[in-house]
Chain A
Amino acid sequence: MVENRPWLTFFSHAVLILGVLMVAFPLYVTFIASTLTLEQVMQVPMQLTPGDQLVQNYTQVLTGGSTKGSKAAASSMLVNSLVMALAIPLGKIAISIIASFAIVYFRFPLRMFFFWMIFVTLMLPVEVRIIPTFKVIADLGMLNTYAGLTIPLIASATATFLFRQFFMTVPDELAEAARVDGAGPMRFFWDVLMPLSKTTMAALFVIQFIYGWNQYLWPLLITTDESMYTTVIGIKRMIVGSDAANEWNLIMATAILAMLPPALVVMLMQKWFVKGLVETEK
């Protein structure tokens, strides 16, 4: 737009800068707190310039957790989180793409019934079914295991639906051409559908990675062993009592560590992510 209205420009920039500050300032405070000693954090008001404890604090949380709360090392928690945040999207993509392949390309009895059954589970997020799910996982002896952390979160109606919508836009002639070429259904799936779904998979991966990484309630319930804590849970377990009893500098350092991987995934996969939601390569 070619417009010259200084006040409008000033006003819109002011709003934008204010918005950025509102998001960025807490992040900044978190980072500053993670570089201070406990005494400095406890001063009111807290100083807003970086301290000299950066290396010590991060070494401490990465190797030994907090001294007063949970002693789980952030390094092992990050690994746990990573396992969870990778297993969930990969599992979801694998299961959903096969399910939608069946629903779109095969005629079998009660096909639409099954589709709607999958769809209806959208109304049943983890929180709603958490007690029976916990019972099942507990009875199967999967508490404090990676399987227990991830399997109940893998089934995904959203991803199934997304792949179904994508498959329905793939021209029928492509499937027919593959048939004439002699490709059976699975061959068509591997050689044609999978490569065409790459961008959709990438988009789903980003969304579900963050979903898996940020899981709170479920890991909180089923991990009691410090070695199985995910980062998000670790932060919670470091907070033990009243405000003064917590080592906020260490907690903030863990929080910064917890924020980095999802941010990295989004930044690195941004191009693919946008493509997957917008572009169709057909």
Chain B
Amino acid sequence: MAAVSLRDVRKSYTPELQVIHGVNMEIADGEFIVILGPSGCGKSTLLRMVAGLETITAGEIAIGGRVVNNLEPKDRDIAMVFQNYALYPHMSVYDNMAYGLRIRGLSKSEIDTRVQKAAAILELAKFLDRRPRALSGGQRQRVAMGRAIVREPQVFLFDEPLSNLDAKLRVQMRAELQGLHRRLGTTSLFVTHDQVEAMTLAQRMIVMNAGRAEQIGAPLEIYARPASTFVASFIGSPPMNLIPSQRDGRDVLLGVRPEHLEPCAQGEAAMTVDIDLIEPLGSDTLVYGHIGAERTGARVAVRLHQSVDARTGHLPVRYAPAHVHYFDPASGKRIEA
């Protein structure tokens, strides 16, 4: 197991086309890090640079204190799980897991011990003779993880490994991944575009936008104090409300999460929402509406724990000052209180 350092890591394909604009991060030994961002933000590229599948244009990546910029993937002591699993279709499950070990010249008995152990952890023992084709999606996913585990690497790299699974299986595999990490304690980097995966798996996460790390921190910390409007609107469902407002005489965006708006009497209201749509979800009710003019006014979502009387078409709400965030409308950056 090892710490991973990213020092001003950059990637450009041509001088004009830069896709990673300098990412800095120190990942502690044994930490589970999630790289979160929308498609095209460079999160997979960053992971592939750590893996050694993409060259590093500038900056440094170190694994366990050793700079790996010019090392082949096999010399970096990493293991990677791909989105489409990338299992060798003509090999049995056993051979898929054993292949990398054979190349590294491990003894037959050592290979067998490791494969059997991984198969036991992942409940694959029954399937060792099967070809990947004869497995379900979740089982293939486990084989891909097994292939990573048997190598006993310093770092696990996961490239959206759960996104090809159906919703139920994804939740189950998420739990298994957590269990696995607790058990093995290997430093892990996990790329996803799914904020729920990020929030539940990460010890710390990197929120990426257009090749930059917008914010790095623990999930709840990022949720509570988003560093920019991008992070505020990317994390949370529905996203944080951003309402153009004035503060100390300058234009700001006032951010408040849907669950922090509470209905109140008209007299105490900070604002009144004109209701467009109500979604009763059972446990709570989402109210979507707008403030001000119908077309140009700010869109607002409110999460309520009781049903709402929609007949009036208006919902006066208020919020506690502690739950309010301010952002600069031009740069999108957070303005500290």
Contacts and interface: CB of A to CB of B under 8 A. Distances in A.
Interface of A: 171, 173-174, 176-183, 187, 191-192, 195-196, 281-282
Contacts, number: 60
B104 interface: yes
A282 B89 contact: yes
A179 B74 contact: yes
Interface string B67-82: 0000011100011101
B72 A179 contact: yes
Contacts of A177: 80, 82, 86-88, 147
A178 B53 CA distance: 11
Interface of B: 51-53, 72-74, 78-80, 82-84, 86-90, 99-100, 103-104, 133, 147
Contact of A173 (B78, B82, B90, B147): B82
Contacts of A182: 73-74, 100, 103-104
B325 to A, nearest CB: 40
Given A171-B84, A173-B82, A187-B103, A180 B90 contact: no
A171 B100 CA distance: 19
A148 B78 CA distance: 52
Contacts of B99: 181, 183, 191
Contact of B73 (A179, A187, A192): A179
A182 B83 CA distance: 19
B14 to A, nearest CB: 15
A196 B89 contact: yes
A174 B86 CA distance: 5
Contact of A281 (B79, B90, B100, B147): B90
A180 B88 contact: no
Contacts of A192: 88, 90
Q: Which one of A171, A182, A187, A191 has the highest number of Cβ atoms from chain B below 10 Å of its Cβ?
A: A182
Given A181-B74, A192-B88, A281-B89, A176 B53 contact: yes
B97 to A, nearest CB: 10
Contacts of A191: 88, 99
Given A173-B83, A181-B100, A183-B100, 7 more contacts: A176-B53, A177-B87, A178-B88, A180-B79, A181-B103, A181-B147, A281-B90
A215 B260 CA distance: 83
A177 B103 CA distance: 13
A77 B100 CA distance: 49
A173 B51 CA distance: 13
Contacts of B53: 176, 179-180
B89 A180 contact: no
Contacts of B88: 174, 177-178, 191-192
A64 B257 CA distance: 98
A171 B82 CA distance: 11
A12 to B, nearest CB: 39
B84 A173 contact: yes
Contacts of B80: 176-177, 180
29 contacts: A171-B84, A171-B86, A173-B84, A173-B86, A174-B86, A174-B88, A176-B53, A176-B80, A177-B147, A179-B72, A179-B73, A179-B74, A180-B53, A180-B73, A180-B74, A180-B80, A180-B100, A181-B99, A182-B74, A182-B103, A183-B99, A187-B103, A191-B88, A192-B88, A192-B90, A195-B90, A196-B89, A281-B90, A282-B89
Contacts of A282: 89
Nearest to A191: B99
A180 B84 contact: no
B81 to A, nearest CB: 9
